[in-house]
A and B are shown apart, each in its own frame.
Chain A
Amino acid sequence: MEIIVCVKRVPLTQEVDLEINPQKTDVRKDMLAYSINEWDNYAIEEAIILKEKQGGTVTAVTVGTEEDEEVLRRCLAMGADKAVRVETGNLLPDSFAVAKILAQVIKGMPHDLVLTGVQADDSNEGSVGTMVAELLNLAHAAVVTDVTPEGGGATVRVELEGGVEEVSRIKLPALLCIQTGINEPRYVSIMGIRKAAKKELNVVKIEDLGLSHDDLSPWTTVEELFLPPETEGAQFLEGDPATVAEEILRILKEKGVKK
Protein backbone atom coordinates (compact mmCIF):
# COMPACT_ATOMS: atom_id res chain seq x y z
CA MET A 1 0.00 0.00 0.00
CA GLU A 2 1.39 3.36 -1.08
CA ILE A 3 0.63 5.98 1.58
CA ILE A 4 1.34 9.68 1.48
CA VAL A 5 1.08 11.77 4.63
CA CYS A 6 0.88 15.56 4.61
CA VAL A 7 2.50 17.16 7.66
CA LYS A 8 3.05 20.66 8.97
CA ARG A 9 5.46 22.21 11.45
CA VAL A 10 3.63 24.48 13.87
CA PRO A 11 4.59 26.66 16.83
CA LEU A 12 3.81 25.29 20.28
CA THR A 13 1.46 27.77 21.89
CA GLN A 14 0.05 25.93 24.90
CA GLU A 15 0.95 27.86 28.04
CA VAL A 16 2.55 30.62 25.96
CA ASP A 17 1.60 34.26 26.09
CA LEU A 18 1.15 35.11 22.42
CA GLU A 19 1.96 38.55 21.06
CA ILE A 20 0.57 39.96 17.83
CA ASN A 21 3.12 41.36 15.36
CA PRO A 22 3.12 45.12 14.53
CA GLN A 23 1.48 44.48 11.14
CA LYS A 24 -1.26 42.56 13.00
CA THR A 25 -1.08 39.77 10.45
CA ASP A 26 0.45 37.04 12.59
CA VAL A 27 1.74 36.37 16.07
CA ARG A 28 5.37 36.99 16.95
CA LYS A 29 7.07 33.69 16.37
CA ASP A 30 10.72 34.47 17.16
CA MET A 31 10.49 33.13 20.71
CA LEU A 32 8.32 30.09 20.01
CA ALA A 33 9.37 26.45 19.92
CA TYR A 34 8.11 24.32 17.04
CA SER A 35 6.96 20.76 16.58
CA ILE A 36 4.94 18.56 14.26
CA ASN A 37 1.26 19.45 14.24
CA GLU A 38 -0.41 17.17 16.78
CA TRP A 39 -3.01 15.78 14.31
CA ASP A 40 -0.29 15.08 11.74
CA ASN A 41 1.65 13.10 14.33
CA TYR A 42 -1.31 10.73 14.61
CA ALA A 43 -1.61 10.63 10.80
CA ILE A 44 2.01 9.62 10.27
CA GLU A 45 1.73 7.00 13.02
CA GLU A 46 -1.42 5.59 11.37
CA ALA A 47 0.38 5.39 8.02
CA ILE A 48 3.28 3.50 9.58
CA ILE A 49 0.93 1.09 11.40
CA LEU A 50 -0.83 0.37 8.08
CA LYS A 51 2.48 -0.16 6.31
CA GLU A 52 3.66 -2.52 9.03
CA LYS A 53 0.50 -4.59 8.55
CA GLN A 54 0.15 -4.42 4.79
CA GLY A 55 3.55 -3.59 3.38
CA GLY A 56 4.20 -0.70 1.02
CA THR A 57 5.80 2.68 1.48
CA VAL A 58 5.08 5.80 3.46
CA THR A 59 6.06 9.22 2.11
CA ALA A 60 5.83 12.35 4.25
CA VAL A 61 5.26 15.65 2.46
CA THR A 62 5.46 19.19 3.77
CA VAL A 63 5.23 22.65 2.25
CA GLY A 64 7.68 25.11 3.75
CA THR A 65 11.18 26.26 4.48
CA GLU A 66 14.35 24.35 5.26
CA GLU A 67 13.56 24.66 8.97
CA ASP A 68 10.38 22.69 8.38
CA GLU A 69 12.48 19.67 7.35
CA GLU A 70 12.76 19.01 11.07
CA VAL A 71 9.28 17.45 11.04
CA LEU A 72 10.11 15.36 7.96
CA ARG A 73 13.20 13.97 9.72
CA ARG A 74 10.97 13.13 12.63
CA CYS A 75 8.57 11.27 10.31
CA LEU A 76 11.50 9.38 8.78
CA ALA A 77 12.70 8.42 12.25
CA MET A 78 9.22 7.11 13.08
CA GLY A 79 9.35 4.83 10.06
CA ALA A 80 8.45 6.78 6.93
CA ASP A 81 10.47 5.64 3.90
CA LYS A 82 11.02 8.98 2.22
CA ALA A 83 10.10 12.60 2.47
CA VAL A 84 9.40 15.52 0.17
CA ARG A 85 9.54 19.22 0.98
CA VAL A 86 8.14 21.82 -1.35
CA GLU A 87 10.32 24.93 -1.16
CA THR A 88 8.04 27.93 -1.37
CA GLY A 89 10.65 30.72 -1.32
CA ASN A 90 9.05 34.01 -0.35
CA LEU A 91 5.51 32.84 -0.97
CA LEU A 92 3.25 32.60 2.06
CA PRO A 93 0.52 30.35 0.69
CA ASP A 94 -2.99 30.35 2.18
CA SER A 95 -4.84 27.08 2.69
CA PHE A 96 -6.09 27.06 -0.93
CA ALA A 97 -2.58 27.50 -2.33
CA VAL A 98 -1.21 24.85 0.07
CA ALA A 99 -3.90 22.43 -1.10
CA LYS A 100 -3.01 23.08 -4.74
CA ILE A 101 0.71 22.61 -4.06
CA LEU A 102 0.12 19.36 -2.17
CA ALA A 103 -2.25 18.03 -4.84
CA GLN A 104 0.29 18.81 -7.55
CA VAL A 105 3.06 16.96 -5.70
CA ILE A 106 0.89 13.96 -4.80
CA LYS A 107 -0.38 13.67 -8.38
CA GLY A 108 3.09 12.65 -9.48
CA MET A 109 3.42 9.86 -6.90
CA PRO A 110 1.61 6.52 -6.64
CA HIS A 111 -0.94 6.62 -3.81
CA ASP A 112 -3.58 4.28 -2.40
CA LEU A 113 -4.11 6.41 0.68
CA VAL A 114 -3.38 10.04 1.44
CA LEU A 115 -3.53 10.97 5.13
CA THR A 116 -3.63 14.43 6.66
CA GLY A 117 -4.43 15.68 10.15
CA VAL A 118 -7.98 16.96 10.72
CA GLN A 119 -6.60 20.46 11.21
CA ALA A 120 -3.47 22.42 12.05
CA ASP A 121 -2.89 23.63 15.57
CA ASP A 122 -2.02 27.19 14.45
CA SER A 123 -4.63 28.21 11.88
CA ASN A 124 -7.34 25.74 13.01
CA GLU A 125 -8.92 25.72 9.53
CA GLY A 126 -9.46 22.03 8.91
CA SER A 127 -9.87 22.52 5.17
CA VAL A 128 -6.64 21.58 3.40
CA GLY A 129 -7.19 17.80 3.54
CA THR A 130 -10.58 17.75 1.87
CA MET A 131 -9.47 20.37 -0.66
CA VAL A 132 -6.58 18.13 -1.68
CA ALA A 133 -9.05 15.24 -2.02
CA GLU A 134 -11.24 17.34 -4.31
CA LEU A 135 -8.31 18.51 -6.42
CA LEU A 136 -7.15 14.90 -6.86
CA ASN A 137 -10.71 13.63 -7.28
CA LEU A 138 -10.23 11.19 -4.39
CA ALA A 139 -12.90 9.75 -2.12
CA HIS A 140 -12.42 11.18 1.34
CA ALA A 141 -13.52 11.25 4.96
CA ALA A 142 -13.02 13.95 7.60
CA VAL A 143 -12.39 13.39 11.35
CA VAL A 144 -11.39 9.72 11.07
CA THR A 145 -10.91 7.67 14.24
CA ASP A 146 -10.35 4.22 12.69
CA VAL A 147 -9.22 2.79 9.34
CA THR A 148 -9.44 -0.88 8.35
CA PRO A 149 -8.47 -1.58 4.73
CA GLU A 150 -10.19 -4.60 3.13
CA GLY A 151 -10.46 -5.50 -0.54
CA GLY A 152 -10.43 -2.44 -2.77
CA GLY A 153 -11.69 -0.23 0.01
CA ALA A 154 -11.62 0.47 3.70
CA THR A 155 -14.01 0.68 6.61
CA VAL A 156 -13.61 4.02 8.33
CA ARG A 157 -15.03 5.48 11.49
CA VAL A 158 -15.80 9.19 11.64
CA GLU A 159 -16.18 11.00 14.95
CA LEU A 160 -19.44 12.93 15.26
CA GLU A 161 -20.76 14.91 18.21
CA GLY A 162 -21.81 13.51 21.60
CA GLY A 163 -19.76 10.32 21.48
CA VAL A 164 -21.45 9.08 18.29
CA GLU A 165 -19.36 7.52 15.54
CA GLU A 166 -20.34 7.02 11.92
CA VAL A 167 -19.17 3.80 10.30
CA SER A 168 -18.83 3.87 6.53
CA ARG A 169 -17.21 2.08 3.59
CA ILE A 170 -14.91 4.03 1.34
CA LYS A 171 -13.36 3.20 -2.04
CA LEU A 172 -9.62 3.45 -2.48
CA PRO A 173 -7.66 5.48 -3.42
CA ALA A 174 -8.88 7.84 -0.75
CA LEU A 175 -7.83 10.74 1.43
CA LEU A 176 -8.54 10.54 5.15
CA CYS A 177 -8.26 13.39 7.66
CA ILE A 178 -7.01 11.76 10.86
CA GLN A 179 -8.31 12.70 14.30
CA THR A 180 -6.21 12.71 17.48
CA GLY A 181 -6.50 9.62 19.66
CA ILE A 182 -6.71 7.16 16.72
CA ASN A 183 -3.46 5.50 17.88
CA GLU A 184 -0.55 6.09 20.25
CA PRO A 185 2.20 7.84 18.29
CA ARG A 186 5.57 6.23 18.92
CA TYR A 187 8.37 7.97 20.74
CA VAL A 188 11.11 9.51 18.63
CA SER A 189 14.62 9.63 20.06
CA ILE A 190 17.41 11.94 18.96
CA MET A 191 19.34 8.77 18.08
CA GLY A 192 16.45 7.70 15.87
CA ILE A 193 16.45 11.01 14.06
CA ARG A 194 20.21 10.72 13.51
CA LYS A 195 19.83 7.23 12.10
CA ALA A 196 17.10 8.38 9.72
CA ALA A 197 19.36 11.09 8.30
CA LYS A 198 20.38 8.70 5.52
CA LYS A 199 16.82 8.32 4.28
CA GLU A 200 15.72 10.07 1.11
CA LEU A 201 14.52 13.67 1.53
CA ASN A 202 13.79 15.45 -1.74
CA VAL A 203 13.28 19.15 -2.16
CA VAL A 204 10.94 20.30 -4.91
CA LYS A 205 10.91 23.94 -5.96
CA ILE A 206 7.50 25.47 -6.23
CA GLU A 207 8.27 26.92 -9.68
CA ASP A 208 8.84 23.38 -10.97
CA LEU A 209 5.31 22.26 -10.11
CA GLY A 210 3.64 23.90 -13.09
CA LEU A 211 1.28 26.00 -11.00
CA SER A 212 0.22 29.36 -12.36
CA HIS A 213 0.28 32.69 -10.55
CA ASP A 214 -3.49 32.38 -10.37
CA ASP A 215 -3.29 28.97 -8.67
CA LEU A 216 -1.14 30.42 -5.91
CA SER A 217 -2.89 33.72 -5.30
CA PRO A 218 -4.73 33.74 -1.99
CA TRP A 219 -8.50 33.22 -1.72
CA THR A 220 -8.59 34.53 1.82
CA THR A 221 -6.31 36.98 3.60
CA VAL A 222 -5.92 37.80 7.27
CA GLU A 223 -6.92 41.43 7.55
CA GLU A 224 -6.22 41.87 11.21
CA LEU A 225 -5.46 39.81 14.27
CA PHE A 226 -6.73 40.92 17.64
CA LEU A 227 -6.92 39.67 21.20
CA PRO A 228 -10.16 38.04 22.37
CA PRO A 229 -12.71 40.59 23.56
CA GLU A 230 -12.58 41.13 27.32
CA THR A 231 -15.03 39.06 29.31
CA GLU A 232 -15.84 39.31 32.95
CA GLY A 233 -13.73 36.22 33.42
CA ALA A 234 -12.95 34.29 36.54
CA GLN A 235 -12.63 35.70 40.02
CA PHE A 236 -9.14 34.60 41.00
CA LEU A 237 -8.60 32.91 44.36
CA GLU A 238 -5.32 34.12 45.81
CA GLY A 239 -3.01 32.69 48.44
CA ASP A 240 -1.03 29.53 49.11
CA PRO A 241 -2.47 26.12 48.11
CA ALA A 242 -3.91 25.54 51.61
CA THR A 243 -5.76 28.88 51.55
CA VAL A 244 -7.03 28.23 48.04
CA ALA A 245 -8.18 24.72 49.00
CA GLU A 246 -10.06 26.16 51.97
CA GLU A 247 -11.77 28.64 49.67
CA ILE A 248 -12.70 25.93 47.12
CA LEU A 249 -14.27 23.82 49.88
CA ARG A 250 -16.22 26.86 51.05
CA ILE A 251 -17.61 27.32 47.52
CA LEU A 252 -18.53 23.63 47.29
CA LYS A 253 -20.39 23.91 50.59
CA GLU A 254 -22.20 27.03 49.40
CA LYS A 255 -23.25 25.21 46.21
CA GLY A 256 -24.43 22.23 48.24
CA VAL A 257 -21.98 19.66 46.90
CA LYS A 258 -19.58 19.26 49.81
CA LYS A 259 -19.63 15.74 51.21
Chain B
Amino acid sequence: MGEIFVVVEHRKGEVREITYQLLWKANELCQKLSHTLTAVLLCGKEEAFVKELKERADKVILFEDERVKTFNGDLYKEILVRLIEEHRPILTLIGHTPWGMDYAPSLSIKTGYPLATDCVDVLFENGRPKAVRQIYAGKIFSRVAFKESKGYLVTVRSGAFPIDKAGEHTGDVIKTEMPPDLPEARRQFVAFEDAGAGAIDITQADLLVSIGRGVGEADKIPIMQNLANLMGAVLSCSRPVVDKNWLPKYHQVGTSGKSVKPKVYLAFGISGAFQHVAGISGAGCVIAVNKDKKAPIFRVADFGVVEDLFKVAEALKAKLA
Protein backbone atom coordinates (compact mmCIF):
# COMPACT_ATOMS: atom_id res chain seq x y z
CA MET B 1 0.00 0.00 0.00
CA GLY B 2 1.42 3.34 -1.01
CA GLU B 3 0.65 6.96 -0.55
CA ILE B 4 -0.58 9.66 -2.93
CA PHE B 5 0.24 13.30 -2.17
CA VAL B 6 -1.93 16.24 -3.18
CA VAL B 7 -0.27 19.62 -2.68
CA VAL B 8 -2.89 22.16 -1.60
CA GLU B 9 -3.07 25.50 -3.38
CA HIS B 10 -4.70 28.39 -1.57
CA ARG B 11 -4.85 32.16 -1.87
CA LYS B 12 -6.18 34.90 0.40
CA GLY B 13 -7.65 32.45 2.92
CA GLU B 14 -9.35 30.20 0.37
CA VAL B 15 -8.45 26.82 -1.05
CA ARG B 16 -8.24 27.06 -4.84
CA GLU B 17 -10.72 24.94 -6.79
CA ILE B 18 -7.90 23.01 -8.50
CA THR B 19 -7.08 21.42 -5.13
CA TYR B 20 -10.53 19.83 -4.90
CA GLN B 21 -10.13 18.53 -8.44
CA LEU B 22 -6.76 16.97 -7.54
CA LEU B 23 -8.36 15.42 -4.45
CA TRP B 24 -11.15 13.97 -6.58
CA LYS B 25 -8.65 12.20 -8.84
CA ALA B 26 -6.43 11.15 -5.94
CA ASN B 27 -9.43 9.68 -4.11
CA GLU B 28 -10.42 7.72 -7.19
CA LEU B 29 -6.90 6.33 -7.63
CA CYS B 30 -6.57 5.53 -3.91
CA GLN B 31 -9.79 3.54 -3.96
CA LYS B 32 -8.70 1.53 -6.99
CA LEU B 33 -5.16 0.91 -5.79
CA SER B 34 -5.67 0.81 -2.00
CA HIS B 35 -3.31 3.73 -1.49
CA THR B 36 -3.77 6.37 1.18
CA LEU B 37 -4.39 9.99 0.36
CA THR B 38 -2.34 12.71 2.01
CA ALA B 39 -3.04 16.40 1.52
CA VAL B 40 0.07 18.51 2.04
CA LEU B 41 -0.71 22.00 3.26
CA LEU B 42 1.74 24.86 3.68
CA CYS B 43 0.02 27.90 5.15
CA GLY B 44 -0.01 30.62 7.78
CA LYS B 45 -1.15 30.10 11.37
CA GLU B 46 -4.68 28.84 12.07
CA GLU B 47 -6.20 28.93 8.60
CA ALA B 48 -9.90 28.00 8.74
CA PHE B 49 -9.72 25.88 5.59
CA VAL B 50 -7.73 23.07 7.22
CA LYS B 51 -11.13 21.55 8.07
CA GLU B 52 -12.12 21.42 4.39
CA LEU B 53 -9.11 19.24 3.67
CA LYS B 54 -9.57 16.88 6.63
CA GLU B 55 -12.92 15.93 5.13
CA ARG B 56 -11.34 14.96 1.83
CA ALA B 57 -8.11 13.13 2.69
CA ASP B 58 -6.86 10.30 4.91
CA LYS B 59 -4.48 12.74 6.51
CA VAL B 60 -3.32 16.31 6.24
CA ILE B 61 0.36 17.09 6.70
CA LEU B 62 0.34 20.66 7.89
CA PHE B 63 3.20 23.14 7.93
CA GLU B 64 2.10 26.33 9.64
CA ASP B 65 4.50 29.20 9.27
CA GLU B 66 4.26 32.87 8.33
CA ARG B 67 6.95 32.32 5.68
CA VAL B 68 4.48 30.21 3.68
CA LYS B 69 1.31 32.19 4.46
CA THR B 70 1.49 33.24 0.82
CA PHE B 71 2.88 30.94 -1.84
CA ASN B 72 6.66 30.88 -2.14
CA GLY B 73 8.16 28.65 -4.82
CA ASP B 74 11.59 28.37 -3.20
CA LEU B 75 10.19 27.30 0.17
CA TYR B 76 7.54 24.98 -1.28
CA LYS B 77 10.27 23.20 -3.20
CA GLU B 78 12.61 22.89 -0.21
CA ILE B 79 9.89 21.62 2.13
CA LEU B 80 8.37 19.22 -0.40
CA VAL B 81 11.72 17.72 -1.41
CA ARG B 82 12.35 16.76 2.21
CA LEU B 83 8.82 15.46 2.71
CA ILE B 84 8.85 13.41 -0.50
CA GLU B 85 12.21 11.87 0.37
CA GLU B 86 10.86 10.90 3.78
CA HIS B 87 7.47 9.50 2.65
CA ARG B 88 8.28 8.39 -0.91
CA PRO B 89 4.72 8.84 -2.23
CA ILE B 90 4.14 6.86 -5.41
CA LEU B 91 2.40 9.88 -6.94
CA THR B 92 2.36 13.58 -6.12
CA LEU B 93 -0.38 15.67 -7.75
CA ILE B 94 0.11 19.42 -8.18
CA GLY B 95 -2.08 21.95 -9.99
CA HIS B 96 -0.83 23.08 -13.40
CA THR B 97 -1.31 26.68 -12.32
CA PRO B 98 1.18 29.56 -12.41
CA TRP B 99 2.25 28.50 -8.91
CA GLY B 100 2.39 24.78 -9.65
CA MET B 101 4.47 25.56 -12.74
CA ASP B 102 6.81 27.53 -10.52
CA TYR B 103 7.97 24.64 -8.33
CA ALA B 104 6.93 21.29 -9.87
CA PRO B 105 9.80 21.20 -12.42
CA SER B 106 12.36 22.14 -9.75
CA LEU B 107 10.93 19.45 -7.50
CA SER B 108 11.39 16.93 -10.27
CA ILE B 109 15.06 17.84 -10.74
CA LYS B 110 15.70 17.84 -6.98
CA THR B 111 13.99 14.50 -6.24
CA GLY B 112 14.86 12.77 -9.50
CA TYR B 113 11.17 11.85 -9.83
CA PRO B 114 10.00 12.23 -13.44
CA LEU B 115 7.29 14.81 -14.13
CA ALA B 116 4.46 15.08 -16.65
CA THR B 117 2.87 18.52 -16.82
CA ASP B 118 -0.54 19.93 -17.73
CA CYS B 119 -2.18 16.49 -17.64
CA VAL B 120 -5.88 15.85 -18.20
CA ASP B 121 -5.82 12.29 -16.85
CA VAL B 122 -3.66 9.90 -14.85
CA LEU B 123 -3.97 6.11 -14.93
CA PHE B 124 -1.95 3.23 -13.51
CA GLU B 125 -0.69 0.22 -15.43
CA ASN B 126 1.32 -2.43 -13.54
CA GLY B 127 1.90 -0.11 -10.63
CA ARG B 128 3.33 2.69 -12.73
CA PRO B 129 1.39 5.81 -13.70
CA LYS B 130 0.75 7.02 -17.21
CA ALA B 131 -0.40 10.51 -17.97
CA VAL B 132 -2.69 11.83 -20.69
CA ARG B 133 -1.95 15.34 -21.89
CA GLN B 134 -2.77 17.59 -24.81
CA ILE B 135 -0.25 18.93 -27.28
CA TYR B 136 -0.45 21.38 -30.19
CA ALA B 137 -2.95 23.53 -28.29
CA GLY B 138 -5.38 20.66 -27.73
CA LYS B 139 -5.48 19.38 -31.32
CA ILE B 140 -3.73 16.13 -30.37
CA PHE B 141 -3.74 14.01 -27.21
CA SER B 142 -0.63 12.25 -25.95
CA ARG B 143 -0.22 9.32 -23.57
CA VAL B 144 3.03 9.63 -21.69
CA ALA B 145 5.00 6.89 -19.91
CA PHE B 146 7.58 7.54 -17.21
CA LYS B 147 11.01 6.05 -16.61
CA GLU B 148 11.09 3.71 -13.63
CA SER B 149 11.26 5.63 -10.38
CA LYS B 150 10.33 5.42 -6.69
CA GLY B 151 7.72 8.09 -7.27
CA TYR B 152 6.20 10.25 -9.96
CA LEU B 153 5.08 13.87 -10.24
CA VAL B 154 2.08 15.06 -12.25
CA THR B 155 0.71 18.57 -12.68
CA VAL B 156 -2.97 18.60 -13.58
CA ARG B 157 -4.83 21.02 -15.81
CA SER B 158 -7.51 23.08 -14.13
CA GLY B 159 -10.98 21.69 -14.88
CA ALA B 160 -9.75 18.23 -15.91
CA PHE B 161 -11.60 16.57 -13.02
CA PRO B 162 -14.77 17.27 -11.06
CA ILE B 163 -14.69 18.83 -7.64
CA ASP B 164 -14.37 16.44 -4.70
CA LYS B 165 -17.30 16.50 -2.28
CA ALA B 166 -16.63 16.71 1.42
CA GLY B 167 -17.62 14.23 4.08
CA GLU B 168 -16.07 10.90 3.18
CA HIS B 169 -12.98 11.33 5.32
CA THR B 170 -12.11 12.46 8.79
CA GLY B 171 -8.40 12.71 8.25
CA ASP B 172 -5.87 13.36 10.99
CA VAL B 173 -4.07 16.65 10.88
CA ILE B 174 -0.37 16.11 11.43
CA LYS B 175 1.30 19.35 12.38
CA THR B 176 4.85 19.21 11.15
CA GLU B 177 7.83 21.36 12.09
CA MET B 178 9.40 23.45 9.35
CA PRO B 179 12.80 22.03 8.36
CA PRO B 180 15.47 23.71 10.51
CA ASP B 181 17.84 24.03 7.55
CA LEU B 182 15.36 25.92 5.36
CA PRO B 183 17.26 28.46 3.24
CA GLU B 184 16.03 31.99 2.74
CA ALA B 185 13.76 32.43 -0.28
CA ARG B 186 15.40 34.16 -3.22
CA ARG B 187 12.10 35.59 -4.38
CA GLN B 188 9.90 37.45 -1.90
CA PHE B 189 6.22 38.20 -2.26
CA VAL B 190 5.29 41.90 -2.27
CA ALA B 191 1.61 42.22 -3.21
CA PHE B 192 -1.32 40.98 -5.26
CA GLU B 193 -2.69 43.45 -7.78
CA ASP B 194 -5.83 43.32 -9.90
CA ALA B 195 -4.80 43.87 -13.50
CA GLY B 196 -8.22 42.94 -14.85
CA ALA B 197 -10.34 45.83 -13.59
CA GLY B 198 -11.41 48.49 -16.07
CA ALA B 199 -14.03 50.59 -17.78
CA ILE B 200 -16.41 47.76 -18.67
CA ASP B 201 -17.45 44.62 -16.88
CA ILE B 202 -17.73 41.68 -19.28
CA THR B 203 -18.88 39.37 -16.47
CA GLN B 204 -22.31 41.03 -16.26
CA ALA B 205 -23.22 41.02 -19.98
CA ASP B 206 -26.07 38.88 -21.35
CA LEU B 207 -24.63 38.96 -24.85
CA LEU B 208 -20.93 38.99 -25.63
CA VAL B 209 -19.44 39.51 -29.06
CA SER B 210 -15.98 38.07 -28.53
CA ILE B 211 -13.03 38.31 -30.88
CA GLY B 212 -9.80 36.34 -31.20
CA ARG B 213 -6.57 36.14 -33.16
CA GLY B 214 -8.61 35.55 -36.32
CA VAL B 215 -9.50 39.26 -36.43
CA GLY B 216 -5.99 39.65 -37.81
CA GLU B 217 -5.10 43.26 -37.12
CA ALA B 218 -5.81 46.21 -34.84
CA ASP B 219 -7.52 48.16 -37.65
CA LYS B 220 -10.33 45.61 -37.73
CA ILE B 221 -11.33 46.08 -34.08
CA PRO B 222 -13.73 49.01 -34.78
CA ILE B 223 -15.69 46.82 -37.23
CA MET B 224 -16.36 44.34 -34.45
CA GLN B 225 -17.00 47.03 -31.83
CA ASN B 226 -19.56 48.50 -34.19
CA LEU B 227 -21.22 45.10 -34.60
CA ALA B 228 -21.34 44.67 -30.82
CA ASN B 229 -22.99 48.10 -30.49
CA LEU B 230 -25.59 47.29 -33.14
CA MET B 231 -26.40 44.03 -31.38
CA GLY B 232 -26.57 45.62 -27.94
CA ALA B 233 -23.67 43.38 -26.92
CA VAL B 234 -20.49 43.94 -24.95
CA LEU B 235 -17.19 43.34 -26.77
CA SER B 236 -14.85 40.79 -25.21
CA CYS B 237 -11.85 38.91 -26.53
CA SER B 238 -9.36 36.08 -26.16
CA ARG B 239 -5.78 36.38 -24.97
CA PRO B 240 -3.93 37.10 -28.25
CA VAL B 241 -6.02 40.26 -28.74
CA VAL B 242 -4.81 41.62 -25.38
CA ASP B 243 -1.24 40.39 -25.94
CA LYS B 244 -1.13 42.38 -29.16
CA ASN B 245 -2.53 45.46 -27.39
CA TRP B 246 -5.58 45.59 -29.64
CA LEU B 247 -7.89 45.74 -26.58
CA PRO B 248 -7.25 46.42 -22.87
CA LYS B 249 -6.97 43.49 -20.45
CA TYR B 250 -10.45 44.04 -18.97
CA HIS B 251 -11.99 42.69 -22.19
CA GLN B 252 -10.22 39.32 -21.79
CA VAL B 253 -12.18 36.09 -21.25
CA GLY B 254 -10.36 33.03 -19.92
CA THR B 255 -8.23 31.61 -17.12
CA SER B 256 -5.98 34.62 -16.84
CA GLY B 257 -8.83 37.01 -17.68
CA LYS B 258 -12.43 36.76 -16.53
CA SER B 259 -14.95 33.95 -16.40
CA VAL B 260 -18.18 35.03 -18.08
CA LYS B 261 -21.76 33.78 -18.04
CA PRO B 262 -23.70 35.47 -20.86
CA LYS B 263 -26.90 33.99 -22.27
CA VAL B 264 -25.17 33.93 -25.64
CA TYR B 265 -21.44 34.02 -26.38
CA LEU B 266 -20.71 34.85 -30.00
CA ALA B 267 -17.07 33.94 -30.74
CA PHE B 268 -15.43 35.35 -33.86
CA GLY B 269 -12.02 34.00 -34.91
CA ILE B 270 -11.34 32.36 -31.54
CA SER B 271 -9.60 28.98 -31.86
CA GLY B 272 -10.65 27.84 -28.38
CA ALA B 273 -7.49 27.18 -26.38
CA PHE B 274 -8.46 25.51 -23.11
CA GLN B 275 -7.51 28.63 -21.15
CA HIS B 276 -10.17 30.48 -23.09
CA VAL B 277 -12.79 27.75 -23.02
CA ALA B 278 -12.42 27.51 -19.23
CA GLY B 279 -13.73 31.07 -19.04
CA ILE B 280 -16.97 30.40 -20.96
CA SER B 281 -18.20 27.26 -19.21
CA GLY B 282 -20.96 29.37 -17.65
CA ALA B 283 -22.27 30.65 -21.01
CA GLY B 284 -25.84 29.61 -21.87
CA CYS B 285 -25.17 29.20 -25.57
CA VAL B 286 -21.95 29.45 -27.59
CA ILE B 287 -21.98 30.33 -31.28
CA ALA B 288 -18.55 30.14 -32.93
CA VAL B 289 -17.47 31.55 -36.27
CA ASN B 290 -14.09 30.33 -37.51
CA LYS B 291 -12.45 29.50 -40.84
CA ASP B 292 -10.77 26.39 -39.38
CA LYS B 293 -13.29 23.54 -39.19
CA LYS B 294 -10.93 21.70 -36.79
CA ALA B 295 -10.68 24.63 -34.35
CA PRO B 296 -11.17 23.30 -30.80
CA ILE B 297 -13.84 25.97 -30.16
CA PHE B 298 -16.29 23.88 -32.24
CA ARG B 299 -15.93 21.08 -29.71
CA VAL B 300 -17.56 23.21 -27.04
CA ALA B 301 -19.81 25.46 -29.14
CA ASP B 302 -23.53 24.80 -29.50
CA PHE B 303 -23.58 26.28 -33.00
CA GLY B 304 -20.75 26.61 -35.47
CA VAL B 305 -20.15 28.57 -38.64
CA VAL B 306 -17.17 27.70 -40.84
CA GLU B 307 -16.71 30.99 -42.64
CA ASP B 308 -14.64 34.16 -42.84
CA LEU B 309 -15.64 36.04 -39.71
CA PHE B 310 -15.90 39.42 -41.44
CA LYS B 311 -18.37 38.06 -44.02
CA VAL B 312 -20.63 36.93 -41.18
CA ALA B 313 -20.10 40.17 -39.27
CA GLU B 314 -21.02 42.27 -42.32
CA ALA B 315 -24.09 40.13 -43.02
CA LEU B 316 -25.23 40.57 -39.42
CA LYS B 317 -24.70 44.32 -39.65
CA ALA B 318 -26.69 44.51 -42.89
CA LYS B 319 -29.63 42.77 -41.21
CA LEU B 320 -29.45 44.95 -38.10
CA ALA B 321 -28.94 48.33 -39.78
Q: Which A residues fall within an 8 A CB radius of B?
A: 13-15, 17-18, 20, 27, 96, 99, 118, 121-131, 133-135, 139-143, 145, 155-171, 174, 177, 180-181, 184, 217-229, 231, 233-237, 241-242, 244-246, 248-249, 251-252, 255-259
Contact = CB atoms under 8 A, between A and B. Distances in A.
Contact of A155 (B190, B197, B315): B190
Interface residues of B, number: 106
A124 to B, nearest CB: 6
22 contacts: A13-B137, A15-B295, A99-B105, A124-B118, A131-B108, A134-B109, A158-B98, A164-B194, A174-B187, A181-B244, A181-B245, A184-B245, A220-B147, A224-B143, A225-B141, A226-B141, A228-B139, A248-B312, A249-B319, A255-B264, A256-B263, A257-B263
Nearest to A169: B188
A244 B108 CA distance: 51
B255 A161 contact: yes
B190 A222 contact: no
Contacts of A248: 266, 287, 303, 305, 312, 316
Interface stretch (B24-32, B40-48, B128-136, B174-182): B128-136
A180 B239 contact: yes
A103 B83 CA distance: 26
Interface of B: 11, 71, 73-74, 77, 96-99, 101-106, 108-110, 114-118, 130, 133-147, 158, 186-197, 206-207, 213, 230-233, 239-240, 242-245, 249-250, 252, 255-259, 262-264, 266, 271, 284-288, 291-292, 294-296, 298-307, 311-312, 314-316, 318-320
Contact of B231 (A125, A235, A244, A252): A252
Q: How would you classify the secondary structure of chain B's contact residues: helix, strand, loop or mixed?
A: mixed
Contact of A139 (B138, B187, B271, B316): B187
Contact of A257 (B187, B194, B206): B206
Contacts of B240: 180
B167 to A, nearest CB: 27
Contact of B195 (A129, A165, A252, A256): A165
Contacts of B158: 161
B136 A142 contact: no
A161 B256 contact: yes
B140 A20 contact: yes
Nearest to A25: B142
Given A122-B135, A130-B105, A161-B256, 15 more contacts: A126-B117, A133-B106, A140-B187, A165-B195, A180-B243, A181-B243, A219-B114, A222-B142, A228-B138, A228-B139, A234-B288, A234-B301, A234-B302, A251-B285, A255-B285
Contact of B101 (A18, A126, A169, A252): A126
Given A14-B213, A225-B142, A171 B186 contact: yes
Contacts of A245: 312, 315-316, 318-319
Contact of A125 (B117, B258, B318): B117
A127 B107 CA distance: 11
Contacts of A13: 136-137, 139
Contact of A130 (B101, B301, B307, B314): B101
Contacts of A130: 101-106
